[in-house]
């Protein structure tokens, strides 16, 4: 599985279609992630979890104060000061385009900001100045307009994909507001994630559902949503949390895979290597959650923030061009 052609874009969509044997989204979505990733890890050939080192790393992280600060969204990168309706719209819009790490080395970054923080803060500035796009505006949004909003070169493949994702969001919303979508989930983070995964192909990250799950978590962190089942979510498997685990010795990569990553070779979406890396991160963080008594979603935020440190940025992480992360 690599990419599927999208005639509306005149290009392929990296990451689609999903693996044929991956689970379908359902109301036991987090449990499906856990079962799917365990199966991958049990059969893994390229990635191994060092369980003893994991326990040592947890002790070190706790002594470093990893869990002292509650998980939170950075107000310098995100639009959090608006009304509940505006912040809900911002986060749903942001998480619709919360992918592109495989392209981030090629985009124009804001000083001192990573690829994600560049996109999040540019979108936040747009919301502060112009407010949310209407649903009709989303449905007709073109890449040239979005490139200006995000201060990126016109014609960049990632911006084309972002525009498609936002048009999908507009179609999904139809005549509803983001708050109405939230209300329809009925205080269930899992129900919201399932709805997003079923409704929009770029959210249907089969077996992981990174962005479908992180949307619910972001809404909760921003204080605009209350969910009764938030702690059922898994981590939001991308390329940074497994990178932190690798640098700290928890994940061990086969020499040929480690060499490819260290040389900056892109891993194809859905390849054995890419699936094993993400699955191992999920399973390792499940164990970390057991050892600390903290939910995987919080472990994810802490390790993602830890990955912003210079020692992690000095080592290449795996890069995959996909619409899922």
Cite the active site residues: 238
Question: Which residues share a beta bridge with 48?
Answer: 252
CA distance 278 to 239: 7
The sign of the torsion formed by the CA atoms of 123, 282, 36, 271 equals positive
CA distance linking residue 306 with residue 314, whole number of Å? 13
| Chain position carrying tokens 């060092």 | 50
């Amino acid at each position: 599985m690599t990419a599927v052609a999208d005639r509306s874009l005149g290009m392929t969509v990296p990451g689609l279609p999903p693996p044929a044997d991956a689970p379908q989204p359902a109301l036991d979505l987090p449990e499906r992630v856990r079962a799917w990733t365990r199966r991958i890890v049990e059969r893994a050939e390229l990635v191994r979890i060092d369980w003893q080192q994991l326990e040592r790393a947890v002790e070190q992280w706790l002594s470093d104060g990893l869990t002292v600060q509650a998980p939170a969204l950075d107000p310098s990168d995100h639009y959090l000061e608006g009304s509940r309706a505006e912040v809900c719209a911002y986060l749903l819009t942001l998480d619709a385009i919360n992918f592109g790490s495989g392209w981030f080395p090629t985009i124009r970054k804001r000083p001192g900001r990573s690829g994600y923080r560049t996109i999040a803060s540019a979108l936040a500035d747009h919301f502060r100045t112009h407010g949310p796009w209407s649903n009709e505006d989303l449905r007709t949004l073109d890449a040239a307009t979005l490139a200006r909003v995000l201060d990126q070169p016109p014609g960049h493949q990632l911006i084309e994909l972002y525009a498609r994702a936002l048009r999908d969001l507009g179609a999904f919303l139809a005549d509803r507001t983001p708050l109405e979508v939230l209300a329809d989930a009925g205080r269930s983070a899992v129900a919201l994630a399932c709805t997003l995964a079923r409704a929009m192909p770029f959210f249907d990250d089969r077996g992981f559902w990174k962005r479908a799950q992180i949307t619910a978590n972001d809404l909760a962190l921003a204080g605009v949503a209350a969910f009764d089942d938030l702690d059922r979510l898994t981590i939001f498997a991308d390329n940074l949390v497994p990178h932190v685990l690798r640098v700290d010795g928890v994940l061990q990569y086969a020499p040929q895979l480690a060499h490819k990553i260290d040389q900056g070779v892109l891993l194809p979406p859905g390849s054995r290597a890419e699936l094993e890396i993400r699955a191992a991160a999920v399973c390792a963080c499940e164990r970390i959650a057991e050892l600390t008594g903290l939910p995987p979603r919080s472990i994810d935020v802490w390790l993602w923030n830890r990955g912003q440190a210079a020692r992690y940025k000095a080592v290449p992480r795996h890069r995959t061009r996909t619409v899922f992360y």
